[in-house]
Structure 1
Amino acid sequence: MNLHETPGDMSISPYFLDLRSAYQSEMDDLRFDSEGRDVLQQRLAGKRQEIAFLVQMMDISPEMVAVVFHRGFEFTGRAVMEHLLTHDEDVFPAWSSLAGGFELAPWAQDLADIVLESPGGDKFLAVTAGLEYMASLPVAAGVIISDEDEDEDEDSDQDGADDLVILEDDGEGEDGGDARTRQEAGADWLVQQGFDHKD
């Protein structure tokens, strides 16, 4: 099965499900400092200043770069965005074709202009739009449904059928661990560039 069905007739490809998990982990890593203070906005502001450098990581760890666009999208076209989320990595719509799905904040448009100057920038921005769209929805994340539990869970979800529930695999399937591998590769790359290794 290539697509994960969600209540409300929304389908999300395994590619986006995998990246969403990695994106959420990246946001969690950025949110708090060693003393437990919420420093997300300061850290994102710092990353945005480094966008010209970070674009080198778009292919290796897109989720580590996508976070700089956090809250930079105002979504206006649900159908456009939901169609985007059905795509897998090898077939992606052009960035320009998504124009009816959102508006970018001025600061985010400035970042997008820099990204578009790099090879692969068009696809990366489409991926980022999908990640931000998922992050903006009321989701019940991390729900794991096995074949035998599916009927029971569908019954329990009927009251909230209008909410998006993202179904993620348990990390044991053939795609399991992809998000972890991507994060490790990104962390190793940063160390090679002289940054401290993230715990």
Structure 2
Amino acid sequence: MKLSRYFADHSPAYDAEINDLLSDSEGKNVLEKRLREKRGQIDFLVMMMDDSPEMLAVVFHQGFRFTSPRAMDELAGMEPDRFPSWKKLSAAATLVPWAQTLAERVLQEEGGERFMAIAAVLEYLHSRVDASGAAEAQDDEDEDQRDEDADGEDGDEGDEGESLPRNLEEAGADWLAEQGFERKE
């Protein structure tokens, strides 16, 4: 996929904005709390949609469901002045209910339709990076595990080998819970 100049410039800024919201000074994950705060400031943030779109776009983080990755790839290669209407685009990028309410506010503004398309593409690009980064991390983890298995001469996994998958599973469950998913019991 080839990014337009617009998205080549703005996608890293969007990623940085998400990363800034991710954790506090103690390293705790506070993304959801900070996103709620940002969403409460939407009336102020809409003033930034042209000059700093990433500042407003983050309120839609995790609010899109992408039904047509091909269409989103095409949009990422376009400059925003060539985008179709939001109504046409909404078939490729649907909003979850809470995000629909925010979108209604943004769409009241001049340029709101264009901005919603920009926000969708920024979130799409961010989610692609997260997915590819997660896949790379899993590949590295699998390789580390294979190396550890190959290094173990006596074949005895001991308590440490038994607790590692459980800790990873717990960490994964904690992360999913932070993202709003229910825990599996």
Contact 2:80 2:114 in 1 (8 A): no
- Structure 1, unmatched stretches of 5+, are 1-9, 141-199
Answer with 1 or 2: which has the greater Rg: 2
Tell whether 2:50 aligns with 1:59.
yes
For residue 136 of structure 1, give the secondary structure of its aligned residue in structure 2.
Answer: helix
Tell whether 2:114 aligns with 1:134.
no
Q: Which runs of 4+ in 1 moved over 4 A?
A: none
Partner of 1:21: 12
Tell whether 2:51 aligns with 1:43.
no
Identity of aligned residues (%): 50
Q: Which has the higher contact order (CA 8 A, sep 6+)?
A: 1
Which residue of the other structure, out of 33, 51, 73, is the alignment partner of 1:82? 73
For residue 2 of structure 2, give the secondary structure of its aligned residue in structure 1.
Answer: strand
Partner of 2:93: 102
- Any idea what the Cα deviations from partners look like across 1:94-114, whole Å, max 9, x if unmatched? 211212212210000000000
Contact 2:18 2:58 in 1 (8 A): yes
For residue 94 of structure 2, give the secondary structure of its aligned residue in structure 1.
Answer: strand
Contact 1:44 1:68 in 2 (8 A): yes
Instruction: Tell me how far apart the structure 1 counterparts of residues 19 and 93 of structure 2 sit (CA, whole Å).
Output: 25
- Structure 2, unmatched stretches of 5+, are 134-185
Instruction: Tell me how far apart the structure 1 counterparts of residues 87 and 98 of structure 2 sit (CA, whole Å).
Output: 18
Q: What is the count of residue pairs matched by the alignment? A: 131
Q: What RMSD in Å do the two structures reach over aligned CA positions?
A: 1.3
TM-score normalised according to structure 2 size: 0.67
Tell whether 2:32 aligns with 1:32.
no
CA drift of 1:91 comes to 2.6
Instruction: Tell me how far apart the structure 2 counterparts of residues 68 and 83 of structure 1 sit (CA, whole Å).
Output: 23
TM-score normalised according to structure 1 size: 0.62
Contact 1:84 1:93 in 2 (8 A): no
